[in-house]
Structures are given as structure tokens and as C-alpha cells.
Chains A and B, each alone.
Chain A
Amino acid sequence: MARGRFHGDRWWKVMRLKEQCQHYLKRSLRNRCGVAYRHLRRALIHQTKGRRLKVYATNILRNQRLEAACDEHEIGHRRFKRGLNKSGVTLNQHMLNILSMYEPRTFERLVELAERTEIETVRGVHEPLPERRFSANKINI
């Protein structure tokens, strides 16, 4: 039903708006579109801003999970990352989390890899190394 010359048929536009407001508790917000539009607009703005914050939050979560997984194997999480870097393993936090949850035995071996490369390349430089060595004959001068 056309109310005026300028607006035309706004029924579909109003229906799209109302679909988003059906879960609002106040009856006036469910039925009156002008009032509801303000709330909707705020919610959509939060959504656009939240897209950036989501990355921030997932990084924090993944770090917490890595710390927990390293704690179970009695290694510090920073030592673990250092050792992996030294040995050339470039797995990111996301994959390390997946391994610790779904493949616990590979994660144990990764912990061993990190420890032994760190001892033999960083800490073992000034000390005689064991005969059965894990890492290649590399030294850091």
C-alpha cells in the first residue's frame, strides 16, 4: 500500500528489519521500526568492530591452550617455541593446538625435539655434548 509519492512500497524493507528484531524482549522494539533501527544499527556496528577483535581473542585463546599443553609435558611454552624455531619446524599455534588435542603422541615427540635442539645448540655450546646426538653439527658462535 503506497503511503506517499516519495517512499513507495516499503513493505519488504520493513520485513527485513523486523526479521532481525524478533528476539527483542520489548514489544515496542519488535513492532516499531524506527525505534528498533537504532538498536539494530548499534548491533551491526559492534559486529564490524568485533571482526577485528575476534583475531585478537583467538590468538589469546590459542596461546592459553598451548601453555596448557606444554605444562602437561613439563616444558615452558617459550622454551618450546624457541626449540621448534631452532630446529626449523614452522608449525603455527593453530596447528600445534590441533596436534595437542587430536594427536597427543606427535606432540610429545615435538616436545622432545624442541628440548634436545635447545640443549645441543644453545646450551651445549660450552659443554661437551653426548655421543648420540639429535641435532646436526651446528654451533652458534
Chain B
Amino acid sequence: MDDLKRKSNQQNTQQAPQRATVWQTFSRNKLAVIGLILILFWVVVAIFAPVLATHDPNDPIVAEKFMHPGEGGHILGTDNFGRDIFSRVVYGARISIWAGVISVGISFCIGVPLGGIAGYYGGAIGNVIMRVMDGLSAFPSLVLAITLAVSMGRGTVSAMVAVGIVSIPDYARLMFAQTSSIKAMPYIEAGRAVGLKTSSLILKHIFPNCLSQLLVRATLGLGMAILTVSSLSFLGLGVQPPTAEWGAMISDGRRYIVSGEWWITTFPGLAIMTSILGFNLVGDGVRDILDPRNRTGS
């Protein structure tokens, strides 16, 4: 067990390559570039949703229920209320990306300081913080997200907060591990000797050293957050109708799979998949750049 730990510590302390070569290395990784394109695609779609949408995403047209893709000017067809699927998918990008960014933001902004404090001070404070993190990660993540979302009541905000809380331990652990190893280094001691404040030591001298790993975590976390929020919406917990959200759209269309109206569920699912794929590919690509050992592995 100790062996394993030492091994992972070695990995963590490996130096990142110089800034100039990062983009070159990244762009050589074709999959990562594809991932970046996918992310940019969905970001552009989200920003220009009002321009791209051909119909009002929430406007039911009773006469145009269950139209096939392409029929009556509906590129991807219409759903059981006669709403245009294309416009709903386009607007759904806004909610999903927002939900992802906000929940990752919550985990990041709470997890990083907690991990930093626990790592820097250690002792009783550190122990209490990290044990609470252990408690949080003792739950399977989707189970905890469901329970939190139920406790806070249905709705977009509570789903985002729930997903955010679930991942706090990931960031806290990373920051904790880095901080507790960096704080013993001479330059931190020197900083303390010249009288720097603890907060500025953590923020300006320790945090930047952890940033690259935290960013990889956050990129992969964005994909995971989008997935979890849409799963919550699918279960009826997250985004509430009639707001266009991919998971909720799939939940709406679920009943019509058996009768053959496949497009209601298929297109929002493809949207979720491609956006998550984008974040996963970019996250993997960046991790490969930071960890040379992984490069042989993929």
C-alpha cells in the first residue's frame, strides 16, 4: 500500500513541460483537438441559441405534434406537445453548459480552499476537514446527488448545488495532497520568514502549483457534471418543465419510444453525449501533457 502511495506521489511531482510546447503537444493529440472542437461547437450554439433556433422552444403547437424530422420546417421534428426539437436542443445547450460550469464552480471554490487549509495547517483542523470529505465520498456520487437534490427541493438550482457538493472532495483531496507536500519546501519557508501572510502564501505560492492538475480535474468534472445534472432532470429532480433541458427532454420522450417516435429522445441524447465526449477528450489530452507516464498508455 505504501508502495502504491509513493508511486502516485512521484507522478504528482513530475514537472509540467514549458508553456510554449503545451499547445504543440495538445494539437498533436488529434482526439483532444476533436474534443476542443466539440466544446467550442456547443458553446457557440449556447451563445447564439436565439439566432439559431427556428421556433420558440417552449411554444406548443397542438396541430404539429409528433412531426417527423424534416417535416413542416422542423429540422429534428416535434415532440408530444408539438414543440420544435431542434430549438429545444439548441436552448438546452445553454442550461446544460451553465449547470456544468456552476456546479464545477461550486466544487472548485469550496473544495480548493478547504483542501488548502487542511493541507497547510494539518492537525485537528486538517483532520476534521478531510474526514468530512471522506464522509461525503463514502456515498456513490449519483446517490448523494439524488439525496441532496431531494432534500433541497426540485429545481435547477438545487440540482446544480447538489452536483457541486458531491464533487467537493475531489478538489479538496487534490489541493490537500499538493499543499501538504509543497508547504515543506524551502521557498514556502522563505516566504514565511519574510513575513508573508498565510492567505497569500496559500493563494499566490501554493495554489498556482496545483492549478494545472485542478484544471484537468475541472475539465473532466464539467462533463461529469453535465451528465449528472441531466440524470437528475431525467429522474424529475433537476430542471423542471417546460424548460428545455436535454435530460428532461429524454424523460418526456421516454413514453413514445415504444410507439416509434424515436426522434424525441434520440437528438437530446446525442447532444449530451457529444458535449460530454468533448470535455472528456480535452481533459484526457491535457492530463497526458501533464503526465508523461500516461502518454505511453493512450
> Is this pair of chains taken from one and the same complex?
no
Q: Which residues of B contact A (CB under 8 A)?
A: none
Q: Which residues of A contact B (CB under 8 A)?
A: none
